[in-house]
């Protein structure tokens, strides 16, 4: 029986999510010869249009936005060395407080079993040992992120193929470094005001982190992948982060290990610990 190649699958909600939360591990493991698969669930129709035009404003065309964002996604994946890009083509649901998520075609309203079945078919096709998606209980409760996570988790368990499942996580202290550095340089950045409930949820998420992967060697490629999504971030505060601050704050990616069929103990520094 032919041994399956080491394979990492990342399941994401929108174009640009692959770069922001897993760009480092996708590039790092690609460099190591690992096959990398990105599954993007929606077309990102409710992203910004030209000149930052928001959904619902004059000049915002969801079809044009989707076309632009999918092209940017393909370019970002080239920067990251992604082996295969799979797009499910569902319709963006919009932000949690927007009315669009009430529409039946919105991704968050597509039955879980349907989406999990499609992701499961890809797991059967590519047979990844490691799957990465979001934490459905994280502070960021975008309906598409939550649905992508839940469907990916369901697919992992229903197929029984992956040996390890990871949920992306972030440390508030890393973001605080960025906020402080940008303010020190006179940049206007949003105030990060958190309710007690949000603070509790973020602290719990940080405490659950099991795995931290050093991505400093590929940080330039993660940045290039992020900037490939120019329609969404070219004018944003992200492009203004000083290089030394970016390395300090974003030189690692953090994960919560949610499934482990190997003998690898935690904490870990490698998603493939116990598999090679």
| Spans of the chain below 50 pLDDT | 1
Q: Which CATH architecture has domain 7-260?
A: 3-Layer(aba) Sandwich (3.40)
**116 to 153, 154, 164: CA distances (angstroms):** 8, 6, 17
pLDDT tens profile 223-239: 899 999 999 875 555 66
pLDDT score for 190: 63
Phi-psi region of 59 (alpha: psi -120 to 50; beta: other; left: phi over 0): left
Note the pLDDT of residue 174.
72
CA distance 77 to 85: 7
Residue 109: strand, helix, or coil? helix
pTM, entire model? 0.91
pLDDT for position 205: 78
Supply the pLDDT for residue 95. Answer: 85
């Amino acid at each position: 029986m032919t041994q399956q190649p080491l394979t990492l699958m990342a399941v994401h909600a929108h174009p640009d999510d692959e770069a922001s939360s897993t760009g480092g591990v996708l590039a790092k493991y690609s460099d190591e010869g690992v096959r990398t698969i990105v599954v993007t669930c929606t077309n990102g129709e409710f992203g910004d249009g030209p000149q930052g035009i928001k959904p619902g404003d004059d000049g915002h065309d969801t079809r044009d936005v989707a076309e632009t964002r999918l092209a940017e996604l393909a370019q970002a994946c080239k920067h990251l060395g992604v082996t295969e890009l799979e797009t499910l083509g569902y319709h963006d649901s919009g932000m949690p407080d927007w009315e669009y998520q009430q529409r039946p075609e919105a991704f968050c309203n597509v039955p879980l079993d349907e989406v999990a079945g499609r992701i499961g078919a890809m797991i059967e096709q590519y047979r990844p040992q490691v799957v990465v998606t979001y934490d459905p209980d994280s502070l960021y409760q975008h309906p598409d992120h939550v649905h992508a996570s839940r469907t990916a988790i369901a697919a992992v368990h229903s197929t029984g193929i992956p040996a390890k499942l990871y949920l992306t996580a972030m440390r508030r202290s890393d973001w605080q470094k960025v906020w402080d550095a940008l303010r020190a340089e006179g940049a206007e950045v949003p105030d990060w005001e958190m309710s007690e409930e949000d603070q509790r949820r973020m602290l719990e998420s940080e405490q659950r982190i099991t795995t931290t992967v050093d991505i400093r060697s590929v940080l330039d490629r993660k940045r290039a992948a992020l900037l490939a999504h120019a329609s969404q971030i070219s004018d944003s505060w992200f492009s203004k982060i000083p290089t030394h601050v970016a390395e300090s704050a974003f030189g690692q990616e953090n994960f919560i290990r949610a499934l482990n069929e190997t003998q690898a103990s935690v904490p870990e520094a490698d998603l493939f610990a116990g598999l090679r």
